[in-house]
Amino acid sequence: MNKIAIYDSNFVVALVDEDDKSHRTALELHSLIKTKNLLIVYFDCVANVAEEMGIKYIVSFDKDFHTMKELTRIYDKQSLESLVHDKPN
């Protein structure tokens, strides 16, 4: 089974808004994610839906997600690599 991650709205905004301060990071991370074995889903009620569905990963620039032990935040290349590099689902 693939690992499943959610794109948070702030990440999506940074991905599409060229003036966003995180735009380049979002583009790079999105490009890398596409090469990994991650299934990406999008929701409005991100954290609640993730918990209900057993989703463990969120792609977000929102540091507050670090306080949620149920979710592992992917926010840059290093956090993605440490998550998917030779680790089982």
User: Is the pLDDT score of 84 beyond 80?
Assistant: no
Say what the pTM is: 0.61
- State residue 45's pLDDT score: 67
pLDDT digits (tens, 9 = 90+) for 21-54: 999 999 999 999 888 878 887 665 666 777 777 8
Number of domains within the chain: 1
- State residue 27's pLDDT score: 95
Residue carrying the six token digits 């929701």 = 43
Whether 82 and 75 have beta carbons less than 8 Å apart is answered as no
Comparison of pLDDT for 53 and 73, the residue scoring more:
73
Mean of per-residue pLDDT scores for the chain = 82
Range of the domain at 32: 3-84
Whether 55 and 6 have beta carbons less than 8 Å apart is answered as yes
Report if residue 27 sits inside a domain: yes
Report if residue 89 sits inside a domain: no
- State residue 43's pLDDT score: 65
Whether 76 and 27 have beta carbons less than 8 Å apart is answered as no
Report if residue 77 sits inside a domain: yes
Report if residue 61 sits inside a domain: yes
